[in-house]
Chain A
């Protein structure tokens, strides 16, 4: 029985274009990760781990048990076997979902959602390369390490792009991950949700124990609010609208509100020793990724 609706060719075309887009974004993320890989402080140093790292000549005071007798037997000197430092962190990435992220004020700018996911994916690949365990909050993906983890991460992150959410802002499911003691959470969002949702989110964040890295991603138009003349503003989902007779007169107020939110985030981050930064989609992604990588570095 043929139940395929008439829209099937259309769906197929959409799927193809989505596949192309996802492919493009993956390539972008990989390229992005490469630009920063040079600057990334790898974990390639001795430490508590499983894998062999190097032999070094034994010195006075070294524990005799640490001497690798097999290696020492091949030479006159005594050698110690050192292992690679493998303190895997569990890092969860969260990218805000919701229609509001599917926005770019100009054609040549990427959608906020795209930029956020490219950043998340590039970061994830770098971290996985560095031996960390990386997971996702939405869609839920437990922290994993290893080669397949990167592919799974890409699949989950970019696959979510296919669906257009009906609501402008979805609550971020912080869940138990947020409460994990040694967890590290990277939250990429525009933080433009309604006021009560924002208050709620901040409250939830403040009560958590995981280390947080917050990146606010904004379109330049959202930052500057460059509109003039009578305008009806409609949210991306079309659910909310607001008509203003003279938006230019309210630009300063708008920017003040935005700055207020940022200040609250900044304050929270400073108090808890977390990191907060703002990224605009017309700036280079490298810059944001470099910042993320630094922000995730263990404090030395």
Chain B
């Protein structure tokens, strides 16, 4: 191999590059032979001969094609010369190779890169014996030399462990190997100092040369959180190397606090960026979190870092809250269900152990929660004691009641054990003497600890205590009635809280104590004191069962079938075999983290004579493969260009012979770009929908959506349709029928132009999905068995069209096929489609319908077929014949639909020359029928355009007569 100094590319067979000298010859050769044209048989060559003067065929190959081909040849020659990027002289030693891998937590962040490096190293020489020695294996074992092929599964099974590297145990194993065995060593270092590394290095150097590969990136870790005196949490981000200052190119790292949200799902509760000052190796983080959040924290982690070091666990809630219940004095014996404490005791009993105490003793017992039921007066000494208890994290929950309602405070004084100042007296809702009705609850505000609890409908409040207006009232209210008055208020006092329910704990005031809601609300309030950060526990003397464990990549998973660990071993944890995680013994739970709170990450240090290479250093990489791939791509481009030049690509029906090959080649390239197909998928339906009122609309529908905007082609079509009266037809699903529909409407349009004042433009095919329907006074819809069902959006637009004055003529074109009681396929289809539209009640066209006299006087409505029943909107039943008037007053409006099967379009259809397309009937009779069909068509269009005008004309004689009098 030779390696030119200026470029890190070497060639396996440099002499093959001489072939590049032949390129000019190749250029000349290719220039001489242009691509041959496609040959086609074409009878009108004679006409082409008159054209050909202006067209000179290309005699030469285009230059870009030449360039492409020359490039292709160059690539092939270069690939044949076996180029290698970044050639590196192979290690001089050819003996066995020992690969030491640090697979502790610190190596997890770039584990894939490490594995890839090792794989490439051992695959470089398939004959060389290689052994693996992971430093953090749960069980230390002497290395075994194998062929690279045999080693591959072992390598694939190697994973980072969630504990630190422990190289100290390995030195004796290396020393115990056969004395004659020598090997060179490659150490993939994690970059973090580990105990006993020097001893192992010494043992390895005794056997042969040692090289080290180490990542220059800093290794990060989180220390476990500690609670400070004032309740804030403190933890640190530590790094093995000085971190650069966070800024634009160095985004701050994100600390995530994971725990249960109010609904009980585990998710990230808080995300906090950690800005790093310049050259810091330890960044302290201080967090002050609301108390109810503290109780739900599960663990801390660094976002985006897959390593056990980036996870820091907290103890979680230990056991249940201890609750003390204080009953109002009074002592009179009551029935059980009337006892103010019965509901509280029942509900709280589900949450934790409940004890009863007197008010004076409550604070001294130091429970997690004290519940005071309707206690109005607390003497000053007890108040002070309770205050101190709350400040230390106690939760005081008070309930209103008749006593509290009756109590009055001296003006100007406040009760420190109430979250708000109360107004004297209470408010009744919905009693005999009251106008108002019992109130329901409003949804809990977002900041409320109750947020997420479903609200039942049946909870109503009849009486409540009202709070005096106060600027802080809103923020202290954590539950309110639908009129905004507080139901529950709370204020923080020190590390604890004081909460007041503005209703009694009995069903006298509200139905709340009877509801499941009561239990849920109390469950949110009565949480264990302090936070999730548990106090130190005595470990020794117990067996600790792993509950959830952290794996090497920092994932927290339930421990299944993991053996319990004696407390003594847990004290030194984590160590090989004992993963960090949550361990449990009885009621106690203990988090095991990788580090202590004051841990420091020291970088690994190596003696000067050991060569250290960065992990990302490039390895020799053969280039022949990519070059050949590129050449293949160029070949494809070239073939495409040739097809283009020869015009073969434009043949639509028969793909050129090269196409299957091309498709195959493209398919073989497909895995290189996964997900491309998805990228090509059509964007979600943004079809420009078009609506608006048809031309003669009366009133817009009250709930009509705003007319969507038209754009592009749809707009152009709508303008064309609106600029002249235009008849439209809807697709029947069969191209042949659509052609007839177009020809039929053209025939009708011509007849209209000849005979009437209506001069329609050329008929248009209307797509109800896209086109504006409003400009069309009439839509003809030939229905066949294969007519597609319009989309719901299109149906809605058609409905709108019908409702706002449009008319659709349905034609199944199968009158002769009709048999009583049996549906033709087209009619079945019609039934289906019409069923989806909003149709008025239908009836056969009455003899005196305005359709029979809107232009011509006609009696029947034949098309190509006669005798099919024609249906139209049923006349109103109250219409009756007026005396002296020959016609009933029917159809004040115009029927939105006309349904028939007489194939009118078939009778109207003409070709471009104006000659009828299809035969009608037989002989002269047939032509008369065609004429009647045309007359019906003209009447139909007149009816659509003029509505009941002709019907009104009927009254003209009567009106004139009256005017004359």
Fill in one digit per residue for B834-859: 1 if any A CB lies within 8 Å of its CB, else 0.
00000000000000000000000000
* Contact flag A38-B55 (CB < 8 Å), given A192-B47, A228-B647: no
A221-248 residues at the B interface, CB under 8 angstroms = 221-222, 225-236, 240-247
> Which residues of the other chain, A, contact B653 by a CB distance below 8 angstroms?
106
Pick out which of these stretches binds chain A: B178-186, B240-248, B921-929: B921-929
Q: Are A229 and B648 in contact (CB under 8 A)?
A: yes
Q: Are A193 and B41 in contact (CB under 8 A)?
A: no
> Which residues of the other chain, A, contact B920 by a CB distance below 8 angstroms?
39
> Which residues of the other chain, B, contact A250 by a CB distance below 8 angstroms?
48, 51, 54-55
Query: Is residue B915 within 8 Å, beta carbon to beta carbon, of the partner chain?
Result: yes
Query: Is residue A202 within 8 Å, beta carbon to beta carbon, of the partner chain?
Result: no
Min C-beta distance of A35 to chain B, whole Å:
7
Fill in one digit per residue for B55-73: 1 if any A CB lies within 8 Å of its CB, else 0.
1111000000000000000
Query: Is residue A78 within 8 Å, beta carbon to beta carbon, of the partner chain?
Result: no
> Which residues of the other chain, A, contact B41 by a CB distance below 8 angstroms?
103, 233-236
> Which residues of the other chain, A, contact B915 by a CB distance below 8 angstroms?
277, 290-291, 294
Min C-beta distance of A212 to chain B, whole Å:
16
Query: Is residue A42 within 8 Å, beta carbon to beta carbon, of the partner chain?
Result: yes
Query: Is residue A162 within 8 Å, beta carbon to beta carbon, of the partner chain?
Result: no
> Which residues of the other chain, B, contact A106 by a CB distance below 8 angstroms?
653
Contact for A232 among B37, B49, B54, B649, CB less than 8 A:
B37
Contact for B916 among A100, A112, A231, A290, CB less than 8 A:
A290
A293 vs B628: C-alpha distance when bound (angstroms): 68
* Contact flag A291-B911 (CB < 8 Å), given A236-B41, A240-B49, A254-B47: yes
Most B C-beta atoms less than 10 A away, residue of A40, A228, A231, A253:
A231
Q: Are B911 and A242 in contact (CB under 8 A)?
A: no
Query: Is residue A41 within 8 Å, beta carbon to beta carbon, of the partner chain?
Result: yes
Q: Are B39 and A234 in contact (CB under 8 A)?
A: yes
* Closest partner residue, chain A, to B652 (CB atom): A226
Query: Is residue B279 within 8 Å, beta carbon to beta carbon, of the partner chain?
Result: no
> Which residues of the other chain, B, contact A195 by a CB distance below 8 angstroms?
46, 50
> Which residues of the other chain, B, contact A228 by a CB distance below 8 angstroms?
647, 650
Query: Is residue A166 within 8 Å, beta carbon to beta carbon, of the partner chain?
Result: no
Query: Is residue A257 within 8 Å, beta carbon to beta carbon, of the partner chain?
Result: yes
Query: Is residue A287 within 8 Å, beta carbon to beta carbon, of the partner chain?
Result: yes
Contact for B43 among A192, A226, A246, CB less than 8 A:
A192
Q: Are B55 and A192 in contact (CB under 8 A)?
A: no
Q: Are A236 and B43 in contact (CB under 8 A)?
A: yes
Q: Are A41 and B49 in contact (CB under 8 A)?
A: no
* Closest partner residue, chain B, to A106 (CB atom): B653
Min C-beta distance of A231 to chain B, whole Å:
5
> Which residues of the other chain, B, contact A241 by a CB distance below 8 angstroms?
45
A-side interface size class: 35 or more
Fill in one digit per residue for B904-928: 1 if any A CB lies within 8 Å of its CB, else 0.
0000000101011111111110100
Q: Are A38 and B926 in contact (CB under 8 A)?
A: yes
Contact for A230 among B37, B48, B916, B919, CB less than 8 A:
B37
Q: Are A235 and B38 in contact (CB under 8 A)?
A: no
* Closest partner residue, chain B, to A228 (CB atom): B650
Query: Is residue A268 within 8 Å, beta carbon to beta carbon, of the partner chain?
Result: no
* Contact flag A222-B923 (CB < 8 Å), given A229-B650, A290-B915, A291-B911: no
Query: Is residue B678 within 8 Å, beta carbon to beta carbon, of the partner chain?
Result: no
> Which residues of the other chain, A, contact B645 by a CB distance below 8 angstroms?
229-230
* Closest partner residue, chain A, to B916 (CB atom): A290
* Closest partner residue, chain A, to B915 (CB atom): A291
A247 vs B37: C-alpha distance when bound (angstroms): 12
Query: Is residue B40 within 8 Å, beta carbon to beta carbon, of the partner chain?
Result: yes
Contact for B49 among A42, A242, A247, A291, CB less than 8 A:
A242
* Contact flag A234-B40 (CB < 8 Å), given A192-B46, A241-B45: yes
A5 vs B35: C-alpha distance when bound (angstroms): 42
B-side interface size class: 35 or more
> Which residues of the other chain, A, contact B40 by a CB distance below 8 angstroms?
227, 231-234
Q: Are A229 and B649 in contact (CB under 8 A)?
A: yes
Query: Is residue B524 within 8 Å, beta carbon to beta carbon, of the partner chain?
Result: no
> Which residues of the other chain, A, contact B911 by a CB distance below 8 angstroms?
277, 287, 291
Q: Are A38 and B39 in contact (CB under 8 A)?
A: no
Query: Is residue B709 within 8 Å, beta carbon to beta carbon, of the partner chain?
Result: no
Q: Are A240 and B45 in contact (CB under 8 A)?
A: yes
A40 vs B923: C-alpha distance when bound (angstroms): 6
Min C-beta distance of B38 to chain A, whole Å:
5
Query: Is residue B28 within 8 Å, beta carbon to beta carbon, of the partner chain?
Result: no
> Which residues of the other chain, A, contact B919 by a CB distance below 8 angstroms?
35-36, 38-39, 290
Q: Are A39 and B55 in contact (CB under 8 A)?
A: no
A253 vs B50: C-alpha distance when bound (angstroms): 10
Q: Are A233 and B48 in contact (CB under 8 A)?
A: yes
* Closest partner residue, chain A, to B736 (CB atom): A284
A290 vs B864: C-alpha distance when bound (angstroms): 15
Q: Are A243 and B45 in contact (CB under 8 A)?
A: no
Q: Are B44 and A192 in contact (CB under 8 A)?
A: yes
Q: Are B46 and A194 in contact (CB under 8 A)?
A: yes
A197-223 residues at the B interface, CB under 8 angstroms = 219, 221-222
A172 vs B50: C-alpha distance when bound (angstroms): 23
A230 vs B923: C-alpha distance when bound (angstroms): 53
Q: Are A230 and B918 in contact (CB under 8 A)?
A: no
* Contact flag A230-B646 (CB < 8 Å), given A245-B56, A249-B55, A257-B50: yes
Min C-beta distance of A249 to chain B, whole Å:
7
Q: Are B46 and A42 in contact (CB under 8 A)?
A: no
A253 vs B43: C-alpha distance when bound (angstroms): 17
Q: Are B52 and A100 in contact (CB under 8 A)?
A: no
A250 vs B37: C-alpha distance when bound (angstroms): 17
Contact for B922 among A39, A222, A254, CB less than 8 A:
A39
Fill in one digit per residue for B203-232: 1 if any A CB lies within 8 Å of its CB, else 0.
000000000000000000000000000000
Min C-beta distance of B412 to chain A, whole Å:
97
Most A C-beta atoms less than 10 A away, residue of B35, B44, B649, B918:
B44
Query: Is residue A132 within 8 Å, beta carbon to beta carbon, of the partner chain?
Result: no
Fill in one digit per residue for B1-42: 1 if any A CB lies within 8 Å of its CB, else 0.
000000000000000000000000000000000010111111
> Which residues of the other chain, B, contact A254 by a CB distance below 8 angstroms?
44, 47-48, 51
* Contact flag A290-B46 (CB < 8 Å), given A230-B646, A244-B52: no
Q: Are A231 and B38 in contact (CB under 8 A)?
A: yes
A192 vs B922: C-alpha distance when bound (angstroms): 37
Q: Are A232 and B55 in contact (CB under 8 A)?
A: no
Query: Is residue B644 within 8 Å, beta carbon to beta carbon, of the partner chain?
Result: yes
A114 vs B532: C-alpha distance when bound (angstroms): 93
A69 vs B39: C-alpha distance when bound (angstroms): 78
Min C-beta distance of B188 to chain A, whole Å:
59
Query: Is residue A97 within 8 Å, beta carbon to beta carbon, of the partner chain?
Result: no
Query: Is residue A161 within 8 Å, beta carbon to beta carbon, of the partner chain?
Result: no
Q: Are A235 and B43 in contact (CB under 8 A)?
A: yes
Query: Is residue A168 within 8 Å, beta carbon to beta carbon, of the partner chain?
Result: yes
B394-446 residues at the A interface, CB under 8 angstroms = none
* Closest partner residue, chain A, to B35 (CB atom): A230
A195 vs B49: C-alpha distance when bound (angstroms): 10
Contact for A290 among B37, B48, B917, CB less than 8 A:
B917
> Which residues of the other chain, A, contact B43 by a CB distance below 8 angstroms?
100-101, 103, 112, 168, 190, 192, 219, 222, 235-236
Query: Is residue A179 within 8 Å, beta carbon to beta carbon, of the partner chain?
Result: no
Min C-beta distance of A42 to chain B, whole Å:
6
Q: Are A222 and B44 in contact (CB under 8 A)?
A: yes
Q: Are B55 and A246 in contact (CB under 8 A)?
A: yes
User: What are 22 A-to-B residue pairs whose CB atoms are below 8 Å?
Assistant: A39-B921, A103-B43, A168-B46, A169-B46, A194-B49, A195-B50, A222-B43, A227-B647, A227-B650, A229-B650, A230-B647, A233-B45, A235-B41, A236-B43, A242-B45, A243-B57, A253-B51, A257-B51, A258-B44, A258-B47, A277-B915, A286-B918
A232-B37, A242-B49, A245-B55 are known; give 13 further A-B pairs, CB within 8 A: A103-B43, A221-B42, A227-B650, A228-B650, A230-B35, A231-B37, A235-B45, A243-B57, A244-B55, A247-B647, A250-B48, A254-B44, A258-B44
Task: List B residues at the A interface (Cβ < 8 Å).
Answer: 35, 37-52, 54-58, 644-650, 653, 911, 913, 915-924, 926
Q: Closest 9 A-B residue pairs measured CB to CB?
A: A229-B647, A39-B919, A100-B43, A228-B650, A233-B42, A230-B37, A245-B57, A235-B45, A242-B48
